[in-house]
Amino acid sequence: MPATTDLCDANEAKLADGTLRVLAPNFHRYGKHTMFAGRVKTLKVFEDNSLVRTAVETAGHGQVLVVDGAASLRCALLGGNLGKLAEKNDWAGVVLNAPIRDADEIDACAIGVRALGTCPVKSKKTGAGSFDVPLAFGGVTVKPGDWCYADRDGVLFSDVELA
């Protein structure tokens, strides 16, 4: 995977027209993979990780699960058990507009995770939320089927796959 800096340099026109977007730099890195990329699957929830579990229990096929948790810091949307499921089911990574918990367990998983930090409180389990919807957080819009590229320098979302 090319570095995000190289992707930005090679795609200045896409940055200018908004088809390549840079996530705000306030997301922390977790998981063994500091670099990951893949097609985006979106999920919108609020303080409920039931559908996060539903997603990571399915085959990820190298996709990146992007979850808008409305930036609530009151509970975590991904923990160690779900991190292990994401790894087992071939998800490249998870980007959360919310915190995680079990950071050491997630750091042991062969996936990449970006989140707003950590919170020891578990989420509700009501099953509320929506898959495959456009999301807007961290200064970007993300649509189902977009492409995500992440490394130590940042997280990019693109309307098209970048070479």
What whole-number distance in Å separates Cα of residue 65 and Cα of residue 68? Answer: 10
- Listed by start position, the domains of the chain span 4-158
Q: Residue 1: its pLDDT value, please?
A: 85
Q: Which residues of 92-103 are buried (b: 16+ CB within 10 A; e: fewer)?
A: bbbbbbbbbbbb
Which listed CATH number (3.90.780.10, 3.50.30.40, 3.40.50.720, 3.30.70.260) goes with 4-158? 3.50.30.40
Which whole number is the average pLDDT over 156-163? 96
Q: Residue 132: its pLDDT value, please?
A: 98
Q: Is the pLDDT of residue 163 over 90?
A: no
What whole-number distance in Å separates Cα of residue 137 and Cα of residue 105? Answer: 26
Name the phi and psi angles at 86, rounded to 5: -60, -40
What whole-number distance in Å separates Cα of residue 92 and Cα of residue 87? Answer: 8
- pTM (predicted TM-score): 0.98
What whole-number distance in Å separates Cα of residue 161 and Cα of residue 136? Answer: 20
**Cα 60–Cα 64–Cα 65 angle in degrees, nearest 5:** 85
**Terminal alpha carbon distance of the chain:** 9
Residue 14, classed as helix, strand or coil, is helix
Block residue for tokens 């990820």: 60
Q: Is the pLDDT of residue 33 over 90?
A: yes
Q: CA 94, 83, 91, 49 torsion: positive or negative?
A: negative
Contact 61, 54 (CB under 8 A): no
Q: CA 130, 73, 139, 152 torsion: positive or negative?
A: negative
Which whole number is the average pLDDT over 61-65? 98
Work out the pLDDT band at 125, boundaries 50, 70, 90.
Answer: very high
